[in-house]
Amino acid sequence: MKRTAIYLRVSSITQVQEGDSIPAQRTALRKYIDDHDDLIFSGEYLDDGVSGTRSDRDELKRLLSDVEDGKVDLILATKLDRIYRSIRHYLNFQDTLDKHGVNWLAIWEPIYDTSTPQGRLIINQMMSIAQFEAENTGQRIRQVQAYKVSQGEVISGSTPPGYSIVNKHLVPNNDADAVRDVFRHYSLTGNLHETMRYAAQFGVFPSTSTAFKNILSNPVYIGVKRDNVSFCEKIIEDPLFEDVQRKLHLNVKVSQKHTYIFSGLIRCAECGNMMAGLQKHKSGREKHISYNSYRCAKRYSSGGIRRCTNTKAILEYKLEEYLLENIRPMIRDLILEYEIKQKPQRNVEKQIEKLNRKLTRLKELYLAEMISLDEYKADKDSITSQLVSLTAKTAPKRLDTDKLKDFLATDIESLYGGFNPDEKRFFWRSIIQEIRFDIDRNIDVVFLP
């Protein structure tokens, strides 16, 4: 008696409609076993809603494990493409069966016979066709989805909190205010888990940190999906969304025993890697003292080769002292440097406005038939060339000098002494984008724009 396992798979509603439903497969396969006296049912393996191009199917893995354990003599499926639609994955599957003397049979496609060279040749040819069809279908689906996105249409029935589907388009609903509130809360606190607790009151947000983080990083909230920057009406304004993304990037896990104030902010200037927090210890006659410090995570050697030459460490309290002592002059220098650069920048902007007015006037002259087409094209090309040249000189970002001036007017030194470690972390992240520390112990501070 051959111990016979049945494998069932369906990946779409279309297959169900075409007669490939799980009950239809199960009925046919069990009947085949009942009709053959030399076969005995040994188990069912069902992958529901999984593509045949994937090799990481849970039930298929379990089936192969039972094959390797000697529990199966024959595998039944209704059709070849129920097992695989990828020739590379199929060949690996067949290799496992060959090693353990196990055959398989597609009862609705009896031309396949793994026991003969001719049968294997036919299977390889049909697997190539099946793989081509799967890839072609996937490409068509991606093209349809891309077209829908370009038209602002949804491609599934799921919606992020704050939106509903109306006529195939995302439209803000009554939960939009809750979404704005949660984004603002995270922007203020920079604490993911505290924001999750805050958001729980609304009853529309996910309860896992990964799913919640996906909500906060979803560009649909600023109206963007894939290449369509006007996919839907935005719920969150761009500056708030950008601030949340920056804080999410800095929201690194810290030690349960120690809070490292500058985790995710301080970077090795030699290799560009983030520096890791660690404890430095000092023993005295009466007590043992530990200090937070930072060193490049790539300072250790690998295979006898040191990945970074920067082996220097910086104590956290020393970095705090340096920043508190130098933050004001650094900000003053930054504002002064920016304002000096802005003087010629403003002149450039005025020139651009003047040239744009010239273009408008030139078009009006042509439409009024006061200049010829050749004159219009020549003058337009000349002005456009000047615009391109001037636009290249414009600054890509503006510095929020008002925010920095407000900071200078605050008695931060007095307030900072009363901050707890988490408040200190949030404080530095509100004004600093990055701190660079090099092998000579130089400290370079990059402020937020």
The model's pLDDT over 117-165, given as tens digits with 9 standing for 90+, comes to 666 666 666 666 666 666 666 677 678 778 888 888 888 778 899 999 9
Give the model's pLDDT for residue 314: 92
Say if residue 424's pLDDT is above 50: yes
Give the model's pLDDT for residue 17: 45
On whether residue 259 sits in a domain, the answer given is no
d(CA 309, CA 6) in angstroms, rounded, equals 59
User: What CATH number should be reported for the domain holding residue 78?
Assistant: 3.40.50.1390
User: In terms of domains, do 15 and 88 share one?
Assistant: yes
- If you average pLDDT over each of 9-18, 178-187, 276-285, 301-310, which comes out highest? 178-187
User: In terms of domains, do 137 and 6 share one?
Assistant: yes
On whether residue 155 sits in a domain, the answer given is no
Domain boundary residue, one of 88, 116, 146: 146
Secondary structure (3-state) at 158: coil
User: In terms of domains, do 362 and 421 share one?
Assistant: yes
Share of the chain above pLDDT 70, in %: 83
On whether residue 152 sits in a domain, the answer given is no
On whether residue 255 sits in a domain, the answer given is no
User: In terms of domains, do 10 and 32 share one?
Assistant: yes
At 13, the pLDDT band (50, 70, 90 cuts) reads very low
Neighbour tally for 50: CB within 10 Å? 16
d(CA 31, CA 25) in angstroms, rounded, equals 10
On whether residue 322 sits in a domain, the answer given is yes
Q: Which residues of 331-358 are buried (b: 16+ CB within 10 A; e: fewer)?
A: beebbeebeeeeeebeebeeebeebeeb
Strands 2-10 and 39-48, how do they pair?
parallel
Residue written as token pair 């053959």: 36
Please return the burial class of 21, using the count of CB atoms within 10 Å of its CB with bins 0-12, 13-18 and 19+: middle
Rounded to two decimals, the pTM is: 0.43
User: In terms of domains, do 99 and 227 share one?
Assistant: no
Number of domains in the chain: 4
Sheet containing 443-447: order of strands: 266-268, 432-437, 443-447
User: In terms of domains, do 323 and 311 share one?
Assistant: no
d(CA 127, CA 281) in angstroms, rounded, equals 63
User: In terms of domains, do 395 and 362 share one?
Assistant: yes
On whether residue 260 sits in a domain, the answer given is no
Higher pLDDT, 333 or 303: 333
User: In terms of domains, do 141 and 176 share one?
Assistant: no
Give the model's pLDDT for residue 347: 74
User: In terms of domains, do 106 and 210 share one?
Assistant: no
* Inter-residue contact 97 to 16 (CB < 8 Å): no
Residues 6+ apart with CB under 8 A from 152: 169, 170, 228, 230, 231, 232
At 302, the pLDDT band (50, 70, 90 cuts) reads low
CA atoms within 13 A on the CB side of 68: 9
User: In terms of domains, do 422 and 372 share one?
Assistant: yes
User: In terms of domains, do 327 and 442 share one?
Assistant: yes
Of 205, 200, 236, nearest in space to 220 by CA? 236
pLDDT-wise least confident of 13-17, 46-50, 119-123, 401-405 = 13-17
* Inter-residue contact 9 to 46 (CB < 8 Å): yes
User: For the segment 347-404, what is each residue's pLDDT rounded down to a tens digit?
Assistant: 777 788 888 888 888 888 888 888 888 888 888 888 888 887 777 665 545 667 787 8
Q: What is the overall mean pLDDT for the chain?
A: 82
User: In terms of domains, do 25 and 109 share one?
Assistant: yes
Report, as an integer, the average pLDDT of 52-68.
86
204 lies in which domain range?
163-250
Give the model's pLDDT for residue 393: 60
On whether residue 417 sits in a domain, the answer given is yes
On whether residue 359 sits in a domain, the answer given is yes
CA atoms within 13 A on the CB side of 302: 5
